[in-house]
Homo-oligomer: A and B are copies of this chain.
Amino acid sequence: MLIVMSHNATTADIDAVVRTVNEMGLTAAPIPGRERTAIGVLGNQGYVDDSKILELTGVQQVIHVSKPYKLVSRDFHPENTIVDVRGVRVGQGCRPVVVAGPCAVESEEQIVKTALFVKQAGADMLRGGAFKPRTGPHTFQGLREEGLKLLAVAGRESGLPIVTEVMSPDSVGLVSEYADLLQVGARNMQNFDLLRELGRIRKPVLLKRGMSATVEEFLAAAEYILAEGNDQVILCERGIRTYETATRNTLDLAIVPLIKELSHLPIMVDPSHATGKRSLVPPMALAALVGGAQGVLVEVHPEPEKALSDGPQSLTFPGFGNLMEEVRRLTGFLGYV
Contact = CB atoms under 8 A, between A and B. Distances in A.
A116 to B, nearest CB: 26
Contact of A250 (B216, B240, B261, B290): B240
Interface in A179-226: 187-188, 190-194, 196, 211-212, 214-217, 220, 223-224
A292 interface: yes
Contacts of A8: none
A24 interface: no
Contacts of A112: none
A224 B141 CA distance: 12
A291 B169 CA distance: 39
Give the number of times this chain occurs in the complex, counting copies.
4
Contacts of A216: 135, 246
Given A243-B212, A283-B290, A138 B251 contact: no
A241 interface: yes
Nearest to A72: B136
A193 B168 contact: yes
B68 A136 contact: yes
Contact of A242 (B65, B167, B190, B242): B242
A126 interface: no
Contacts of A250: 240, 242, 250, 252, 254
A317 B168 CA distance: 40
A44 interface: yes
A283 B308 CA distance: 36
Interface residues of A, number: 76
A250 to B, nearest CB: 5
Contacts of A167: 192-193
Interface in A125-184: 133-140, 167-170
Contact of A65 (B138, B214, B308): B138
Contact of A223 (B43, B137, B330): B137
Interface stretch (A12-20, A77-85, A95-103, A271-279): A271-279
Given A138-B68, A188-B191, A240-B244, A284 B253 contact: yes
B251 A139 contact: no
Contacts of A42: 137-138
The residue in A69, A139, A193 that gathers the most chain B C-beta atoms within 10 A of its C-beta is A193
A308 B192 contact: no
A324 interface: no
Interface of A: 42-45, 65, 67-70, 133-140, 167-170, 187-188, 190-194, 196, 211-212, 214-217, 220, 223-224, 227, 240-247, 250-258, 261, 271, 274-275, 277, 279-280, 283-284, 286-292, 308, 329-330, 333
